[in-house]
Structure 1
Amino acid sequence: MHGDSGWSFPATSALDAAVLLALFSGVFLVGWARARHRYVDAVWGSAFALVAVVTLTLSGGHGDTARKVLLTACTVIWGLRLSVHIAWRGRGAPEDPRYAAMLSRAGGNPAWAAYTRVYLLQALLVWFISLPVQAGMFASGRSAVGTVLLAAGFGLWLLGLGFESVGDWQLARFKADPANRGRLMASGLWRYTRHPNYFGDACVWWGLFLIAAGAWPAALTVASPVLMTWLLVAGSGKPLVEAHLSETRPGYADYAARTSSFLPRRPKAKD
């Protein structure tokens, strides 16, 4: 620790990594003991919130106070909402087929495969994607451009949080109706994009980046929202969900043909 000014950014970021390692290692022990690796999904959002709180606490006198508070509040609100939603949605559910399939293909020690390919990977992703939040806490001063970016970023964050929250709520209501068992959700926000929750997530992280990017060091972390967007659009998000839905939901091909894959827009008219 460096006097009253708080920890340095490198030291704080290194501690964030250590905290994430401890968190995901603990979740691994619980998941392995209960044969439910899906628990890690509910920890994802909370892990970002934890990084934000730890970074704010250790940053001391570094950085711009308004930016620090906004980054922390936005990250915590988004992360806790997501964790609660995923935990509630998955209560009593069996193992996630993604993890079951991964472990069935893994050679060698299955525990080591799960720990490295699921838990350590997610810890690394949380650390890297949260770099705008970490760096933004240490960015000093705020120019007129920085203030505009802060306001724009907060607006984009609000849009993203609202979009994914409403989309999740609409889907939860749809699934709660027994009459919709086996049917495809294609109304509400899901009429304009096949993935309102993923679109919302992308907006949240681009918004957080803009809030932080008003100061030069934090502007260098643009790779973080790029990676998050890639994961949602082409990585472990959209492709896996769509592959599952195409096999389990009749009419999915027709829905996909007329509905935007990511960015919201008016659906195409039926032929």
Structure 2
Amino acid sequence: MIDSQDVLVVWIAAAVAMFLAWLLQLATRNAGLVDAVWASCLSASALFYAGSGHGGIVARAAVAVLGGFWGCRLCLHILARVLTEHEDGRYRHLRERWRGNPFKFFLLFQAQAVAVVLFSLPLHAAAQGPAEVMTPAVAAGIVIWIISLCGETLADYQLARFRRDLRNRGKTCRSGLWRYSRHPNYFFEWLHWFAYIFIAAGAYNAALAWLGPLLMLAALRWISGIPHTEAQALRTRGEDYRAYQRETSMFVPWFPRRGRT
């Protein structure tokens, strides 16, 4: 079901990239770089699989454009924060807890290289999709991707605008999409992975495309996303964030439990 040679190439390239990023964070003491490198590696894997895949030209082009652009946008968004702000609170907390142990950070970075491989498998499956011309399935995937990209970009913009206002220091963003979900950026990030299920339709390894939304939901809901983000928010915003938790849907956008503006 998997072209093991191509996947091995992605793993080696991701491991090398993460090793270099780990060396850089030793100097900068900003481990947030790992997230930017993770996104850039996925972007590169989309381009690689599109070039090496055996699917139809439309399916491979969709993987190259959609996967490549998505990862590049996310990388640049995270990199802008890494270069202009202090280390993300989640990683500061780990640095304190691990007492700056460089080996533990090395393992963290290499674990992200493994995550690159796992999350690249839906892209690999989509690059084997049979579509030689635009099909309803590919069109549906593109529509899902556009909606997801617009939603995630808007959520990122709204949060960045809120954080730039010094009057909001210590407060929780409740405007725009953040009124309906505590993590709208994560929701649209998760939704985006459904695009590759449609593009992979008819491929011999199409089932692998389901790993995208399943792995992303697990990562965001229980592993590295929401738990760490909310723990950091509670440390820095306390009761204001507890009220936000009581009033606002955690993941899927929905109306607040009581009216807020």
- What TM-score results when the alignment is normalised by the length of structure 2? 0.89
- Tell me, in whole angstroms, the C-alpha distance in 1 between the residues paired with 2:160 and 2:251: 20
- Tell me, in whole angstroms, the C-alpha distance in 2 between the residues paired with 1:193 and 1:75: 25
> Number of matched residues?
258
2:90–2:229 Cα contact (<8 Å) kept = no
Moved more, 92-101 or 231-240: 92-101
2:122 corresponds in structure 1 to 132
Out of 216, 229, 243, the residue aligned to residue 254 of structure 1 is: 243
- Tell me, in whole angstroms, the C-alpha distance in 2 between the residues paired with 1:204 and 1:194: 18
Give the drift of 1:104. 4.4
2:50–2:63 Cα contact (<8 Å) kept = no
2:59–2:132 Cα contact (<8 Å) kept = no
The root-mean-square deviation of aligned C-alpha atoms, in Å, is 2.4
Flag structure 1 segments of 5+ consecutive residues without an equivalent.
1-7
Out of 35, 42, 65, the residue aligned to residue 36 of structure 2 is: 42
Give the drift of 1:143. 10
Task: Give the alignment of 1:19-98 within 5 angstroms.
Answer: 19-59=13-53, 62-98=54-90
Q: Which amino acid aligns with 2:240?
A: G
- Tell me, in whole angstroms, the C-alpha distance in 2 between the residues paired with 1:157 and 1:97: 30
1:150 corresponds in structure 2 to 138
Give the drift of 1:114. 1.2
Flag structure 2 segments of 5+ consecutive residues without an equivalent.
none
2:161 corresponds in structure 1 to 173
1:215 corresponds in structure 2 to 203
- Tell me, in whole angstroms, the C-alpha distance in 2 between the residues paired with 1:159 and 1:258: 25
Shift in CA distance, 255/104, structure 1 to aligned 2, threshold 3 Å: closer
2:8 corresponds in structure 1 to 14
User: 1:30-64: CA deviations, max 9, x gaps?
Assistant: 112332222112222111111111222333xx211
- Tell me, in whole angstroms, the C-alpha distance in 2 between the residues paired with 1:119 and 1:180: 32
1:206–1:225 Cα contact (<8 Å) kept = yes
Larger Rg: 1
User: 1:10-37: CA deviations, max 9, x gaps?
Assistant: 2212111111111111111111233222
Give the drift of 1:103. 4.4
- Tell me, in whole angstroms, the C-alpha distance in 2 between the residues paired with 1:150 and 1:176: 39
- Tell me, in whole angstroms, the C-alpha distance in 2 between the residues paired with 1:171 and 1:106: 29
User: 1:196-222: CA deviations, max 9, x gaps?
Assistant: 100010011122233223424122342
- Tell me, in whole angstroms, the C-alpha distance in 2 between the residues paired with 1:88 and 1:103: 21
Structure 1 position 112 matched with structure 2 position 106: no
- Tell me, in whole angstroms, the C-alpha distance in 2 between the residues paired with 1:21 and 1:192: 38
- Tell me, in whole angstroms, the C-alpha distance in 1 between the residues paired with 2:156 and 2:244: 18
Give the drift of 1:246. 2.2
Out of 226, 231, 234, the residue aligned to residue 222 of structure 2 is: 234
- Tell me, in whole angstroms, the C-alpha distance in 2 between the residues paired with 1:23 and 1:68: 24
Give the drift of 1:105. 4.1
Shift in CA distance, 195/71, structure 1 to aligned 2, threshold 3 Å: same
- Tell me, in whole angstroms, the C-alpha distance in 2 between the residues paired with 1:103 and 1:179: 28
Structure 1 position 187 matched with structure 2 position 175: yes
1:9–1:135 Cα contact (<8 Å) kept = no
User: 1:111-134: CA deviations, max 9, x gaps?
Assistant: 322111x11110111110110111
- Tell me, in whole angstroms, the C-alpha distance in 2 between the residues paired with 1:255 and 1:100: 23
1:266 corresponds in structure 2 to 255
